[in-house]
Amino acid sequence: MADAGSFIHVDTPAADAKAGAEAEGDTDSYVHVDTPASDAVQVKAEADTETEDQVIKNTKGPEIKLEDLFEGMDSDDEFPSSPVSPKRESFGSFPSSPSENGVSHKASDPELMRSFYQRLFPWRYLFQWLNHSPTPTNDFGHREFAFTLQNDAYLRYQSFPTSDLLRKDVLRLMPSRFEIGPVYSANPRDRKTLRNSTAFRPLAKELCFDIDLTDYDDIRTCCDKTTICIKCWQFITMAIKVVDAALRDDFGFKYIMWVYSGRRGAHAWVCDKKARAMDDQKRKAIAGYLEVVRGGEKSGKKVNIRRPLHPHISRSLDALKTHFQEDVLEVQDPWRSSEQAEKLLQLLPDAQLVESLRKKWDSSPGRSSVSKWADIDTVAKTGASQKLDSRALLDAKQDIVLEYTYPRLDIEVSKKLNHLLKSPFVVHPGTGRVCVPIDTRSLGDFDPLGVPTVQSLIKEIDAWQESEEDTEKHVQDWEKTSLKPYIEQFRSFVIALMRDEREVKVKQERDEDEIGSTDF
């Protein structure tokens, strides 16, 4: 309960005001959202992420015209705009903003959710992202979606020929969240009619990563369990930096989208065609390459790596050093008490050195982690141990830096082609926050507690004032809200990805013509 503050304080003033007026009479109404049921949902849901910040990096030159890309697509009402047209009202008559009616404004409020999916969710870009082409293909049509319904029922193997049909089903079923799985060799809905099992097999999916702060509970001191704050979010920042660098520089991937998971973590979606086509062996290879910190809370030493350090690890260590000093030693102060300091001592190699340090720290209780870290070298230099192996000490210190900063990945998510992950832009049912892309160009500025919530967004639509220049063009609802930069980022990402994919396809066709025959 002590952590509830972190959730409450983030929101818009309006939301705060509402919190006080909550019908249940619970003062900590936001905390109350985290019922066990919604937690269970979340655990599953948080497996999905995307990164968007790439998008713009990869879009060189002037942005190409969307219309050109989407030629031949009939326009639908995916991006509605206020005032709601009569046609839309027949779809279901909802108030433009549920908040005005004074009903409950929990994030999971079905009316709020419905408004969000009806008016703000970027259906078209989601479609293009997964379809890799403006016109529907099997990349989208054979893609599995899975819905978690309000009653916690879990519907797998849903598939949709177009984004509009997906949208309609979401509005009909109002799932608390939905996940994205692989593209299959056949339509997932037909899987039971297929005679043999090999006819229905996963073909492709983005390479995904899942980083969750609960895996850092043994080293973060500010929060635990489901709570987070900007201090411990820095662990996610470090993780994104390290994994993103490896995926780009080492593996050569270009289309990497990082997505806030809605509560306490982030997901990566690596969307390059090569990445999508990887089999489990290759996914496992990447996961293994990136995994350095192993073992849960109980196990002892979590870092066991060879010397000399592999270039990926040296580079990561360089990138993490400052974070270790500032975000870990200064902010988290993980070894302040003597009990905590014992954890540090156990990771050091020399018994005599350890004894000297223990004596020193026992005589000055509450000595900061920054000082204790510095003490290691100071005491070592005074010759506290006759047979001190300075190489071993340096290695141990590097291992400690890695244990306290290196990304802790849930690698099961990455290893399997057929793993499902929560879709970007879904609303987290517990926090009401939208799973927005994270811009890695300004990674340090990302504040998970400042991410728009479904409640604030709906209000923003209503509060929007038409300006003169806006009257000349059609302004979509999402453009009226703080979701705008996130959707624009997603759009740029998707456009760049589609353009790249189209170029590859054209080139392939040309090559095939030249060869005059397909491979056998």
Partner 1 sequence: MIRQDFNRIDSKRRNVVDHRKKQFADPSYKEAQYPHRLNFYATPPTADITLEQFEQWAIDRLRILAELEACSFRNKTPAETATHIKPLLDNSSSTQLFAQRQKDHYSHFILRLAFAATEDLRRRFSRVETMLFRLRLGADDMRERAAFVQSLNIDWEPVTDEERRELATELAAVSSFAYGGKKTLQAQEDESWCKVDWERVPDLVETRRVFLRAGKAYVPAREQQSMVITEFSARLERALELTARALPRLDEDDRLTPILNHLSKTFIVPDATFGGNNTAIDGAEITARNMDNLSQHFPMCAMNLHKSLKRDAHLKHFGRLQYTLFLKGIGLSLEECLVFWRQSFNRITDDTFNKEYRYGVRYSYGDVGGDSNRRGGGGSPYSCQKVMTMPPGPHGCPYGHFSMDNLAALLQSAGVNDRGVLQGVKEDKEHKKFHMACNRVFEHIHKNELKRAIDEGIMTEAQLETIVHPNEYFKRSYLLKNMGKMQQQQQQQQGGGGDVKMGE
Task: Considering the complex, state which of residue 264 and residue 302 has its C-beta at the smaller distance from Zn ion.
Answer: 264
Pick from 430, 491, 473: nearest CA to 36 = 430
Q: Which of Zn ion, partner 1, none does residue 223 bind (CB under 5 to 8 Å by kind)?
A: Zn ion
Exactly one of 289, 321, 506, 507 binds partner 1 (CB under 8 A); which one?
Answer: 289
Task: Output b/e per residue, 178-202; b: 16+ Cβ within 10 A.
Answer: bbbbbbbbbbbeebeeeeeeeebeb
Task: Considering the complex, state which of residue 86 and residue 308 has its C-beta at the smaller distance from partner 1.
Answer: 308
Exactly one of 102, 110, 288, 383 binds partner 1 (CB under 8 A); which one?
Answer: 288
Draw the binding track, 5-44, toward Zn ion (x: CB under 5 A; -: no contact).
----------------------------------------
CB 15 within 8 A of CB 454: no
Which positions are catalytic? Answer: 144, 210, 212
Rg of the chain on CA atoms, in Å: 25
Give CA–CA dist 341/160, Å, rounded: 55
CB of 492 to partner 1, least distance (A): 23
Q: What is the DSSP letter of 262?
A: S
CB of 443 to partner 1, least distance (A): 22
Give CA–CA dist 435/428, Å, rounded: 7
Task: Considering the complex, state which of residue 92 and residue 311 has its C-beta at the smaller distance from partner 1.
Answer: 311
CB of 240 to Zn ion, least distance (A): 17
Reported as half-sphere exposure (CB side, CA atoms, 13 A), residue 42 has a value of 28
Q: Which of Zn ion, partner 1, none does residue 298 bind (CB under 5 to 8 Å by kind)?
A: none
- Among positions 192-251, residues that touch Zn ion (CB under 5 A) are 222-223, 229, 231-232
Task: Considering the complex, state which of residue 189 and residue 231 has its C-beta at the smaller distance from Zn ion.
Answer: 231
CB of 517 to partner 1, least distance (A): 5
50: its two tokens = 């995307």
- Contact between 449 and Zn ion (CB under 5 A)? no
Exactly one of 24, 249, 462, 466 binds partner 1 (CB under 8 A); which one?
Answer: 249
Binding piece for partner 1, criterion CB under 8 A, among 3-11, 99-107, 306-314, 330-338: 306-314
Beta strand segments in 159-310, E: 177-184, 202-204, 207-212, 256-260, 265-270
Pick from 125, 131, 133: nearest CA to 143 = 131
**What distance separates the 2 farthest-apart alpha carbons in the chain?**
86
Give CA–CA dist 138/19, Å, rounded: 45
Binding piece for partner 1, criterion CB under 8 A, among 108-116, 163-171, 245-253, 446-454: 245-253
Task: Considering the complex, state which of residue 81 and residue 221 has its C-beta at the smaller distance from Zn ion.
Answer: 221
Q: Which of Zn ion, partner 1, none does residue 517 bind (CB under 5 to 8 Å by kind)?
A: partner 1
- Contact between 379 and Zn ion (CB under 5 A)? no
Q: Would you call 146 helix, strand, or coil by DSSP?
A: strand
Binding piece for partner 1, criterion CB under 8 A, among 286-294, 352-360, 398-406, 482-490: 286-294
- Contact between 472 and partner 1 (CB under 8 A)? no
Give CA–CA dist 296/299, Å, rounded: 6
Reported as half-sphere exposure (CB side, CA atoms, 13 A), residue 256 has a value of 22
Residue 122 contacts by C-beta under 8 Å, 6 or more apart in sequence?
Answer: 78, 79, 425, 478, 487, 490, 491
- Contact between 285 and partner 1 (CB under 8 A)? yes
Binding residues for partner 1, rule CB under 8 A, total 29
Exactly one of 83, 297, 469, 520 binds partner 1 (CB under 8 A); which one?
Answer: 520
CB of 251 to partner 1, least distance (A): 6
- Among positions 313-342, residues that touch partner 1 (CB under 8 A) are 313-314
CB of 321 to Zn ion, least distance (A): 21
CB of 180 to partner 1, least distance (A): 24
Q: Would you call 520 helix, strand, or coil by DSSP?
A: coil
Give CA–CA dist 54/438, Å, rounded: 9
Give CA–CA dist 170/426, Å, rounded: 11
* Binding footprint of Zn ion on the chain (CB under 5 A): 222-223, 229, 231-232
* Binding footprint of partner 1 on the chain (CB under 8 A): 249-253, 274, 278, 281-282, 284-289, 306-314, 515-517, 519-520
